[in-house]
Amino acid sequence: MEQYAVEAAILKVYGSETLDYVTDEGVQIYGGMGYSSDAPMDRAYRDSRINRIFEGTNEINRMLAVDMMLKKAMKGDLDLMGPATAVANELLQIPDMSNGSDELFAAEKKTIANFKKAVLMVAGSAVQKLMMELAKEQEVLMNIADMLIDLYVAESLQLRIEKLAGMRGEAGCTEEIDMMRVFLYDAAERINKAGKDAINSYTSGDEQRMLLMGLKRFTKVAPVNVKESRRRIAAKLITENKYCY
Ligand SMILES: Cc1cc2nc3c(=O)[nH]c(=O)nc-3n(C[C@H](O)[C@H](O)[C@H](O)COP(=O)(O)OP(=O)(O)OC[C@H]3O[C@@H](n4cnc5c(N)ncnc54)[C@H](O)[C@@H]3O)c2cc1C
């Protein structure tokens, strides 16, 4: 279990916050009745809320996820600084504008590879810059945790959709592909914001400009018509009149 402690913290935080979002939307869909115990959402609302508190509050789990990752790096179980240095060197070169290859989901895989570079760049520069002080800079740890969580979910989602497409064919999972694209599009913004908040807190001048430029490069995504994607996802739910994914 200890081997997967970082993943467990990530899943606990992401799962409980997703559940709260879904429950909150459930209350909203019922309108005024959502607030009343005559509708089924009030109990769900309270039951779901505890998950962000017990088994380690989400604030503590966010910090733990990064702390455990950094400890693994210090023990030599995880090479963080090697890839982080490679990403820093890549910033000095001309950006790679290609989509990698024409294999299935090549663009999405490239987006995720870039998200990884963004996380490595921010985590690596934070370690280099703040060293032992990093443990006390909780806001920066939170920023890195948020980036890590989005990266982990993005890659898990892509791998699941690829498996599904292998079983059903691309045409058999149109809405799931929509979900992946909407998620990556949204995650790019969130990773960019969390990264910026971190970078702006421990750098200035040329170094800051360089890191912000790198972050922009690594969180760039092709435009997605999220309105149409979300409509397709919702239309299938409405047609089937049940959870169908
Ligand atoms: C219904 C329920 C069931 C429970 N079941 C169990 C159980 O079976 N076994 C068990 O051992 N415990 C159980 N608990 C206790 C639960 O684990 C604790 O409530 C939880 O760990 C939070 O601790 P606390 O209540 O002391 O809050 P505090 O630790 O005082 O935290 C208060 C707030 O401050 C934040 N905070 C604290 N420290 C920091 C920090 N360093 N940086 C940033 N933010 C911080 C927290 O995230 C939280 O938002 C249960 C609690 C409830 C409500």
Question: Which residue range(s) make up the domain with 98?
Answer: 79-240
| Cα 55 to ligand 1 centroid, rounded to whole Å | 8
Q: Would you say residue 91 lies in a domain?
A: yes
For residues 5-27, average pLDDT: 97
Number of folded domains that form the chain: 2
pLDDT at 235 over 70: yes
**Ligand 1 centroid to 56 CA: how many Å?**
6
The verdict on 136 and 46 lying in the same domain is no
Write the CATH number for 188: 1.20.140.10
Could you tell me which of 145, 167, 149, 147 has the C-alpha nearest to residue 157?
149
Residues 93, 46 share a domain: no
Q: Is 8 within the bounds of a domain?
A: yes
pLDDT band, very low/low/confident/very high, at 100 (cuts 50, 70, 90): low
Query: How does DSSP classify residue 95?
Result: P
Residue 51 beta carbon below 6 angstroms from any ligand 1 atom: no
Evaluate whether residue 69 is within a structural domain.
Answer: no
Give residue-wise pLDDT tens across range 143-160: 999 999 999 999 999 999
Evaluate whether residue 215 is within a structural domain.
yes
**To test the ligand 1 pocket, which listed residue (16, 59, 67) has its Cβ within 8 A of the most ligand atoms?**
59
Cβ 47 under 6 angstroms from ligand 1: no
For residue 51, report the distance from its CA to the centre of ligand 1, in Å.
Answer: 10
Tens of pLDDT, residue by residue over 152-185, are 999 999 999 999 999 999 999 999 999 999 999 9
Rounded distance, CA 196 to CA 212, Å? 7
pLDDT at 96: 77
Whether 170 and 202 share a structural domain: yes
* Distance between CA atoms of residues 232 and 230, nearest Å: 5
167 Cβ neighbours under 8 A, 6+ residues apart: none
Which pLDDT score, from 0 to 100, does residue 47 have? 96
* Same domain, residue pair 154 and 52: no
State the pLDDT at residue 61. Answer: 98
Would you say residue 44 lies in a domain? yes
Q: Which residues of 86-103 are buried (b: 16+ CB within 10 A; e: fewer)?
A: ebbebbeeeeeeeeeeee
Predicted confidence (pLDDT) per residue in 39-55, tens digit: 989 999 999 999 999 99
Sort residue 105 into left (φ over 0), alpha (ψ -120 to 50) or beta: left
CA 192 to ligand 1 center in whole angstroms: 30
Whether 40 and 149 map to the same domain: the answer is no
Q: Indicate if ligand 1 lies below 6 Å from the C-beta of 57.
A: yes
Which atom of ligand 1 approaches the CA of 60 most closely?
47
Q: Are residues 122 and 229 in the same domain?
A: yes
Read off φ and ψ for residue 219, nearest 5 degrees: -120, 20
Percentage, residues of the chain above pLDDT 70: 99
What pLDDT is stored for residue 200 in this prediction?
98
pLDDT at 73: 87
- Closest CA to ligand 1's atom 6: 54
Q: Which regions of 51-125 does DSSP assign to beta strands (E)?
A: none
Average pLDDT of the chain, as a whole number:
94
Q: What is the pLDDT of residues 172-230, one digit of tens each?
A: 999 999 999 999 999 999 999 999 999 999 999 999 999 999 999 999 999 999 999 99
Same domain, 232 and 116: yes
Q: Specify if 62 maps to a domain.
A: no
Residue 245 lies in a domain: no
Q: Which residues are catalytic?
A: 55
* Percent of the chain surpassing pLDDT 90: 84
Kindly state whether residues 166 and 211 are assigned to the same domain.
Answer: yes
What are the residues whose beta carbons fall under 8 Å from the beta carbon of 113, sequence distance 6 or more? 100
Same domain flag for 99 and 204: yes
pLDDT at residue 6 is higher than 90: yes
| Same-domain status, 133 and 220 | yes
- Closest atom, ligand 1, to C-alpha of 59: 47
Residue 71 included in any domain: no
The reply to whether 3 and 99 lie within a common domain is: no
Q: 234 CB less than 6 Å from ligand 1?
A: no
Task: Note whether 33 and 104 are same-domain residues.
Answer: no
Give the model confidence (pLDDT) of 76-98 as tens digits.
Answer: 888 988 998 998 898 888 887 77
Q: What is the pTM of this model?
A: 0.94
How confident is the model at residue 99, as a pLDDT? 65
